[in-house]
Amino acid sequence: MNRFSLLAATLLLGGCAGAQPAGGAAGPGVGQAEPQRTPANSPAGESGSSAGDSETPLWLTLATPADLERLTDWRDQFVMVRKRVLESESKADMLAGGTLYEVDAAIDYAPPPPGLYNCNVTKLAGRYMEMIAYEYFRCRIIVENGRRQFVKLTGSQRPVGYIHDAPPTDERDKPHGVFLGTLVLGDEAALVSYGAEPERDLAGIVERLGQKRWRILFPKPFYESELDIMDLQRIEQ
């Protein structure tokens, strides 16, 4: 692993033990102090529900208003973006990608288990290009103390955060997960707290595509596109 890989893994593991990383948390709650929990700084993988409503999924109490809005109509956003790309010169590339780019491709949900993954991001409906798929990098999922942490280990844009189980929000949806986290850029070593810088916040829908494959859909990301899709393929350990 490179320098960032070692740093990210150390910070994530340290956050579970209560260590305070420099520069803030890698997504909601990693390494943050325990008093005064708010949607912007509570541990995102903690079990339980919001105060006063035992039926409210915890991620709903943690997500920022902007991210709640982005996730509300994620499926309609996917349908719109797919139609736009299929009407462009990138149609063949999208069709060649198979289930990764199909709206209703998800199978019965189970969260991605801990371990290493090959992961890449496709940006769809961009300002200058309708579709661009980047090369595969390495990602890791760590499960500890009931929290499922995700970190992209390599590359110039590295999402870091938590994956939560989530009930369907639409009658057309299947059970899925929700990712809440932040974006680390370039050679940065410090991690930005979720909610501290809106342009770094990430919110996505996690779906299972196969026995060893998942995807994270990021509707209306702050940068470059209308929808990002991260492909996660588990590496045999």
Q: Are 163 and 142 in contact (CB under 8 A)?
A: no
Q: Are 112 and 125 in contact (CB under 8 A)?
A: no
End-to-end CA distance of the chain: 16
Angle, helices 74-86/65-72, rounded to nearest 10 degrees: 60
Running DSSP on this structure, what letter comes out for residue 17? Answer: T
What is the structure's pLDDT at 13? 34
What is the structure's pLDDT at 43? 32
What is the structure's pLDDT at 44? 39
Q: Are 34 and 131 in contact (CB under 8 A)?
A: no
CA gap 27, 181 in Å, rounded: 4
Return the structure tokens found at 105. Answer: 């491709």
What is the structure's pLDDT at 9? 41
> Which stretches of the chain are assigned E, i.e. beta strand?
115-124, 131-133, 137-144, 147-152, 157-166, 176-185, 201-210, 213-219, 227-234
Return the structure tokens found at 215. Answer: 């995807």
What is the structure's pLDDT at 191? 82
What is the structure's pLDDT at 54? 54
- Domain spans, the chain: 3-31+57-234
Tell me which residues of the chain have a pLDDT lower than 70: 1-54, 168-170, 172, 237
What is the structure's pLDDT at 154? 85
What is the structure's pLDDT at 174? 78
